[in-house]
Structure 1
Amino acid sequence: MTHIATLVGAPGAQVLTPNLLAAAARRLPGAGHPVILSAGEAADIPFAPGAAHGNRADGGFADASYCRAAVSVLRLGLGDAPVDIFVQPVEGRRKKLLLADMDSTMIGQECIDELADFVGLKGKVAAITERAMRGEIAFEPALRERVALLAGLDAGVVETAIEERITLTPGGRTLVQTMRANGAYTALVSGGFTVFTSRIGEAIGFQENRANTLLIEDGKFAGRVVEPILGKAAKLATLKELTAAHDLAPEETLAIGDGANDLAMLEAAGLGVAYHAKPAVAAAAQARVDHGDLTALLYAQGYRADEFVTA
């Protein structure tokens, strides 16, 4: 078998019944028996597309669009079942580098929106954030505009925001710790701010974090951010830099995010995953998680639930 379809159900739904797995297998050429990764929740179905579907004579896969097409075929066959689907070559599934966005990916909030709430401007700032994440406006000027609205805010509110408003996305720490235990390098790379990524990255277990720096004067936000802004181009550059630094092939990398400023990074990674993402990002990414938590990325790499590192 040269390829794998991984099906991951919504947590707790126990949707991956024998009948559902059999229905999925019938839609895959040369499908083998399902391999259960977590009973009722995640399974692999190995299959062999064959020469008619893009295999090269040397065993490589000539057309990555086939994997997307196979996902679409499986989705049609599974109807409205809350299942996320990954289709990829068997070789190289387990990745050696993880790059992850923070806001609305590794945490459930947008940090700048929460800061704006302390000055009564959350609605205004959140609307700009949403447009930037959808790709409707450029990220860098949108960030400058939002940061300017924070001028004069006591920087001490960051501590309050982290303690009272920020929640870690389920499965995030397990994802990072499991990949690290298996030799991967992990980096949190955010268009947000170092005052958050330093704390959140450490809590989740990332080996490094990169983000924008808010200027603070006399204990208050100055309403400016250190230039150049870490945005879409910088995230892509970080992926390339860390890939080279760890002597990896692009295929050995995994990136995850939800917004338009993540898309270049997602497209360049060996496996780029849109996580509960904005529509345009979900449509363009190689893979997507619409139903699962962050452990779906471990199942996509072939990890069984009993291999997860949860400490």
Structure 2
Amino acid sequence: MASSQNFLVATLIANPSRPVLTDEIVAVAARSLGQETERSVLARGIAADLIVPAPADAKAIEGTLRRALVGQPVDIVVQPLETRRKRLFLADMDSTMIGQECIDELADYVGLKKEVSEITERAMRGEIAFEPALRERVALLKNLPVDVVDEIIEKRITLTPGGRALVQTMRANGAYTCLVSGGFTLFTGPIGAKIGFNEHRSNHLILDGEKLAGMVDEPILGREAKLATLIELRTRFGLAHHETMAVGDGANDLAMLGEAGLGVAFRAKPAVAAAAHARIDHADLSALLYVQGYRSDEIVTAPV
């Protein structure tokens, strides 16, 4: 291929724990596009590219591929080939970079996980505003000993598969990474360090001695603050719009996902998945490397 200019790339990704992306499935996908399509395997059984020459419509190609691969546990991301590699990455934490909602785990210690989880779910679906929902949930945690945070991180928090490799590989290739969460610094600090982010931003819980005071510092970091963080970092590093990527799962991520060059809904609420540029429903977070064109032998697993 002489030049990537004006080409689109459709990346097909399976979960590494279930590497179902056979040569036959890739061939079926290529044939469905009805034109000469260059194929490139990024990771055997896991990820492959289909290069589509312009003029072509990304949404139309995605729709064709989804119909061709219906029933297959394969994610599909279509984007311009020339601008796929990113230099700034912002990520939500709860239910994205980790498998839990930290505030729900805190609530479990005071016997209120069911009540708090219901509020969390409604906020993430966008049914209620994030900021008042956070204040309401934090108030229920008043007098909870702060040292339970360490125990929760150690015993209950699980990192989403592929997340460390995603951050470490992007950093090794010159990208800047930021964990930006509507959760709390008590969690984003140690979790961000464990994954390897350059920095973290989130909300500060107010303490009363060694206990939670049931209040959070204002202003609350929510939807608009996530958007502002993306714009601030993009401006600081002098990056173009297309050089940025963001990932999240909830309604308070929508503005950030919309502003990113590639906004990815990761196992997201339906409204978020429908609005984002791309969606990952089956694969793990390593999918965000494959959509940038990284091959399996380029993925970094050791700390940078």
Superposed, 1:68-147 pairs within 5 Å as 68-147=59-138
Find the partner of 1:159 among 150, 154, 158.
150
Distance 2:168 2:270 in 1: 29
TM superposition score normalised by structure 1? 0.94
- Measured on the aligned residues, the alpha-carbon RMSD in Å equals 1.0
The answer to whether the 8 A contact 1:106-1:172 is kept is yes
Find the partner of 1:21 among 19, 26, 39.
26
Distance 1:266 1:71 in 2: 19
Find the partner of 1:289 among 258, 280, 286.
280
Q: Read off the aligned partner of 1:273 and give its amino acid letter.
A: V
Superposed, 1:191-210 pairs within 5 Å as 191-210=182-201
User: Are residues 1:34 and 2:34 paired?
Assistant: no
Q: Percent identity?
A: 64
Corresponding residue for residue 3 of structure 1 = 8
Task: Name whichever of 94-103 and 8-17 sits farther off.
Answer: 8-17
Distance 1:147 1:131 in 2: 15
Corresponding residue for residue 256 of structure 2 = 265
Corresponding residue for residue 211 of structure 2 = 220
Q: Give the superposition deviation at 1:33.
A: 2.8
State the SS of the aligned residue for 1:76. helix
* Structure 1 residue runs without a partner (length 5+): 54-65
Distance 2:60 2:47 in 1: 21
User: Are residues 1:242 and 2:233 paired?
Assistant: yes
Task: Name whichever of 9-18 and 121-130 sits farther off.
Answer: 9-18
Q: Give the superposition deviation at 1:73.
A: 1.5
Find the partner of 2:160 among 159, 163, 169.
169
Q: Give the superposition deviation at 1:17.
A: 1.6
User: Are residues 1:45 and 2:50 paired?
Assistant: yes
Distance 1:12 1:242 in 2: 34
Corresponding residue for residue 57 of structure 1 = none
Q: Read off the aligned partner of 1:5 and give its amino acid letter.
A: A
Task: Name whichever of 170-179 and 29-38 sits farther off.
Answer: 29-38
Find the partner of 2:179 among 188, 198, 205.
188
Q: Give the superposition deviation at 1:204.
A: 0.3
TM superposition score normalised by structure 2? 0.96
State the SS of the aligned residue for 1:105. helix
Distance 1:27 1:302 in 2: 22
State the SS of the aligned residue for 2:191. helix
Q: Give the superposition deviation at 1:88.
A: 0.6
Find the partner of 1:309 among 291, 300, 303.
300
State the SS of the aligned residue for 2:38. coil
Distance 1:158 1:254 in 2: 30
Q: Give the superposition deviation at 1:67.
A: 1.6
* Structure 2 residue runs without a partner (length 5+): none
The answer to whether the 8 A contact 1:276-1:288 is kept is yes
Aligned pair count reads 297
After superposition, what is the alpha-carbon deviation per residue over 1:42-62, rounded to whole angstroms, capped at 9, x for unaligned?
000111132xx4xxxxxxxxx
Distance 2:142 2:216 in 1: 11
Distance 2:17 2:231 in 1: 37
Corresponding residue for residue 274 of structure 1 = 265
Distance 1:32 1:67 in 2: 14
